[in-house]
Structure 1
Amino acid sequence: MADDQQLWGYAEVAAHLGTSVGAARNRRNRGTLPPPDDTSIADRPRWKPATFQSWKPLGQGHRSDLHGNQTE
């Protein structure tokens, strides 16, 4: 991956989501984060910031289970 491409670890993802690092890890373990863009280092998934631009996290006032994943 190019050096100019920034990647986020759990700390940056947590800051973006406004949660703790532990909560970000739990989201990944439950499968509620988008798939990582880089898994080349074991136990250290990393994401491109752009991955989170169009992604809408579940549990942020949005009940997808009630409305078939429709957006408000």
Structure 2
Amino acid sequence: MADDQQLWGYAEVAAHLGISVGATRSRKSRGALPAPDDESIPDRPRWKPSTFTNWKPRGQGYRSDLAARPATEPPTA
């Protein structure tokens, strides 16, 4: 039952997802994170690590606009 005792706050979820704490808070406010497992403290939701085991973020995909351009290609405005 160690998983029941360990809960993640914004910082741990952000580290797990590889994003900033601000981005994690933003995703939570948009409903783009799983529902918290503990909301007993206002403004401090907490999640069990197992909540993220099989969870996949929505909208994950290849961003061609972020790909490095070849040196011969001029930048677009």
Q: TM-score, normalised by structure 1?
A: 0.78
The 2-side partners of 1:13 and 1:59 are apart by 18
Percentage of matched positions with identical amino acids: 77
Provide the alpha-carbon RMSD of the alignment. 1.7
The answer for the alignment partner of 1:50 in structure 2 is: 50
1:24 aligned partner, one-letter code = T
Structure 1 unaligned segments of length 5 or more: list them. Answer: 63-72
Give the length in aligned residue pairs. Answer: 60
The answer for the alignment partner of 1:16 in structure 2 is: 16
Q: Which runs of 4+ in 1 moved over 2 A?
A: none
The 1-side partners of 2:53 and 2:25 are apart by 19
Q: TM-score, normalised by structure 2?
A: 0.73
Please state how far the C-alpha of 1:61 moved relative to its aligned partner. 1.1
Structure 2 unaligned segments of length 5 or more: list them. Answer: 63-77
The 2-side partners of 1:58 and 1:29 are apart by 14
In our comparison, the structure showing a higher alpha carbon Rg is 2
2:9 aligned partner, one-letter code = G
